[in-house]
């Protein structure tokens, strides 16, 4: 028993100091690891959102197109665009939502309502809604193509559970208003006996607007809203974005010359360059870097539908 001895106070203090130093080092490593992991997650989330926006916006814009309009108002050979308004950080257009063909019997209004029957299932994103805009393809003279055109149809009601005719194939019945199918943009000239035929295409659109907006969290996002559905506020599509250059659009005509928003005519636009600049909502520090807002940029140039024809 006399040969045994315990630790001295100095030894215990030395061990405690060493343990504190090791614990502090491990804590620092753990905190730095958590900070880097959090920064990587925030940055990856921002990059993922930017990639989604970089796919979603061009996908919608590729459906923007041009079609010949031979109406008296437009003049022979005139072109009608799905683009309604352009800006450096917004665009408003008619987004294609579905497509089908006439089937069975149809009747056009002659002082009252008429009906069009289109075949189910439809092609595209979804079935038609009453808020959509509709167009019907009219062949006019069967032996020539120069007088073929898409005409606006004013639809007042939709029955999703109709039939095409005697065959009993499922159909969607579109009720056409008394104004009928218009050959003019302003609807002043209406057709009550258009040259429709079995299999004539019918398509419908939703008026959409892409633009940047500031959300309740104070950050800037790329948003979309349906003009047809009466949406007054944007729904976030991607973000957060850079508050100044997060969503930028550049428009070009058929000769590759920029079309200035507010000055140029949207119908002249043939290609659109979409630039998205994502930005993290807060400053983060990756391994070996200082605290800062991380960014990611994507640029896509979209050729619009039917551009080679006009």
User: Which residues, in sequence order, are bridge partners of residue 30?
Assistant: none
Is residue 141 located within the same domain as residue 161? yes
Question: Into how many domains does the chain fold?
Answer: 2
Residue 62: C-alpha distances to residues 21, 73, 225, 294 (Å): 61, 27, 18, 30
Is residue 180 located within the same domain as residue 215? no
Residue 15, in any domain of the structure: no
Is residue 192 located within the same domain as residue 226? no
Is residue 139 located within the same domain as residue 179? yes
Give the whole-angstrom CA distance, residue 67 versus residue 227: 22
Contact 126, 226 (CB under 8 A): no
Is residue 76 located within the same domain as residue 176? yes
Q: Residue 273 class from Cβ within 10 Å (0-12 exposed, 13-18 middle, 19+ buried)?
A: middle
Which of 152, 178, 206 marks a domain boundary? 206
- 127 pLDDT band, cuts 50/70/90, is very high
Which of 189, 206, 223 marks a domain boundary? 206
Residue 253, in any domain of the structure: yes
Contact 134, 101 (CB under 8 A): no
Is residue 175 located within the same domain as residue 74? yes
Residue 178, in any domain of the structure: yes
CA pseudo-torsion sign 127, 128, 132, 133: positive
- Nearest residue to 212 via CA among 185, 183, 179, 247: 247
Is residue 173 located within the same domain as residue 224? no
Give the whole-angstrom CA distance, residue 152 versus residue 65: 15
Which of 154, 182, 206 marks a domain boundary? 206
Q: Write out pLDDT tens, residues 180-222.
A: 666 544 445 555 555 677 888 898 999 999 999 988 888 889 9
Instruction: Provide the domain limits for residue 275.
Output: 40-65+208-309
Q: Write out pLDDT tens, residues 93-117.
A: 988 899 999 887 666 666 567 788 8
Is residue 190 located within the same domain as residue 212? no
Q: Write out pLDDT tens, residues 24-74.
A: 888 777 777 777 777 777 777 778 878 888 888 888 888 887 665 544 445
Is residue 177 located within the same domain as residue 75? yes
Helix and strand element counts for the chain (H, E): 1, 16
């Amino acid at each position: 028993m006399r040969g045994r001895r315990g630790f001295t106070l100095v030894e215990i203090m030395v061990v405690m100091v060493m343990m504190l130093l090791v614990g502090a080092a491990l804590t620092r490593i753990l905190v730095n690891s958590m900070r880097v992991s959090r920064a990587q997650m925030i940055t990856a989330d921002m990059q993922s959102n930017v990639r989604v926006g970089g796919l979603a916006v061009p996908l919608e814009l590729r459906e923007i197109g041009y079609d010949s309009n031979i109406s008296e108002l437009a003049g022979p050979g005139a072109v009608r665009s799905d683009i309604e308004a352009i800006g450096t950080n917004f665009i408003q257009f008619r987004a294609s939502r579905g497509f089908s063909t006439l089937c069975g019997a149809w009747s056009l209004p002659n002082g009252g309502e008429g009906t069009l029957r289109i075949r189910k299932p439809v092609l595209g994103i979804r079935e038609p809604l009453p808020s959509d805009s509709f167009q019907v393809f009219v062949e006019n003279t069967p032996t020539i193509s120069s007088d073929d055109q898409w005409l606006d149809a004013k639809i007042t009601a939709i029955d999703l559970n109709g039939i095409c005719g005697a065959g009993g194939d499922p159909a969607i019945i579109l009720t056409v208003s008394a104004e009928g199918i218009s050959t003019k943009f302003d609807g002043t000239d209406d057709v009550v006996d258009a040259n429709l035929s079995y299999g004539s295409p019918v398509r419908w659109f939703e008026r959409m607007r892409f633009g940047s907006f500031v959300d309740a969290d104070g950050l800037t996002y790329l948003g979309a809203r349906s003009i047809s559905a009466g949406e007054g506020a944007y729904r976030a599509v991607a973000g957060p974005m850079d508050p100044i250059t997060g969503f930028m659009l550049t428009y070009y005509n058929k000769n590759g010359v920029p079309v200035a928003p507010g000055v140029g005519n949207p119908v002249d636009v043939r290609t659109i360059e979409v630039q998205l600049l994502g930005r993290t909502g807060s400053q983060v520090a990756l391994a070996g870097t200082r605290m800062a807002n991380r960014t990611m940029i994507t640029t896509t140039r979209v050729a619009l539908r039917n551009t080679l024809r006009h």
